Every structure is written in structure tokens, then in C-alpha cells.
Amino acid sequence: MSNKEGSGGFRKRKHDNFPHNQRREGKDVNSSSPVMLAFKSFQQELDARHDKYERLVKLSRDITVESKRTIFLLHRITSAPDMEDILTESEIKLDGVRQKIFQVAQELSGEDMHQFHRAITTGLQEYVEAVSFQHFIKTRSLISMDEINKQLIFTTEDNGKENKTAAGIAYHLQRAFGGGGWHGGRAT
């Protein structure tokens, strides 16, 4: 056995040289100081943002999975005995996806959408692919972005009043597909 093997390989850290009574202890911190209260507030805000981001990622994954299932269903249209049954089933699946997109819109209400763009982009791309494929099978033509956005306007009731809520994701759809950007305070 060499001397290197027997030494244990322990390297001293710089703070190991300080006597125990000169080390900083966490007990000296006043938890009710304005600085600590500010940091606790920031911590709660960051935790809330991270939680929201994770919820959006989960919703985006669900949107992706259901959109892919719809696409796979639509691929079976050539071998199916009844084309209308598959189109009806695909519409039901896409309605479920739209409800997930509505949940995304509710999560993003009042938020800076740029912070959460990466969390939802993949789901939106798959949704657009599924809707485009379904539209092409039905009409043999391409669907426009405006038509897709019209499908993402939701009607809700608030105190007996009917409110129309746009999913607010037109900007994300445009960014996801390389169209436009932000110019002069408006999406292009």
C-alpha cells in the first residue's frame, strides 16, 4: 500500500482553518429583518412561477400526446370502412385538446407570456399539425392561422353574463411557426 492510498485523500478546505467560534453561524440572522422578508417574498414569487411553469409543461405534454393520437387516428382513414366515424372521433379528441388549451389560457391570464413560451410551444405545434391534417382530409385545402385562432375562442359565463375569451396564444402560434414577431407594441 502506498502513502497516497493510506492518506485518505482528504483535502482541507479554507474554512477548516478557522477556529469554530469565528465561523459564521446561521443563527445570527434575524428572520424578521426587512432584507429577509424581501427574500422570502421573492422566494414565494419564484416558487409560484416555477409551479406555474411545471403545470404548463404538463398541459403541453397532454396536448402533445392527444394531438399525436389524433394524427395517428387520421392516418388510419385510408384503411377504415367509414371515413365519417374517424372524422367524428378526431373532432371529439380535438375538442378535448382545445379544453387543455383553454386551461393553458387560464394559467397565462395576466402573465407575461414570454416567460412561459418554451413551456407550451411543443404542444401548440402538435395541435396545429393535428388540426391542419384533419382540415386537409376534410377539405383538401390548407387551414389558415386565423381559422385555427377562431377555434381557440372560448365562451364562459360569469355572473350570468356570457364572456368570450380568446386563448391569447396567437402570438405563441406565430412564434412557433416562424411567423412575425413583435413590432411597435403589436404582434405581426
Write out the binding residues for Mg(2+). Answer: 129
CB-based contact 93:73 (threshold 8 Å): yes
Enumerate the H helices of 109-182 as residue ranges. Answer: 117-139, 145-150, 170-176
Amino acid at 30: N
Q: How far apart are the first and last CA of the chain?
A: 72
Enumerate the H helices of the chain as residue ranges. Answer: 3-6, 34-75, 83-108, 117-139, 145-150, 170-176
Cell 391569447: give the residue: 168
* Phi, psi of 23, deg, nearest 5: -75, 150
- Residues making up the binding site: 129
Count Cβ atoms below 10 Å from residue 149 Cβ, excluding itself.
15
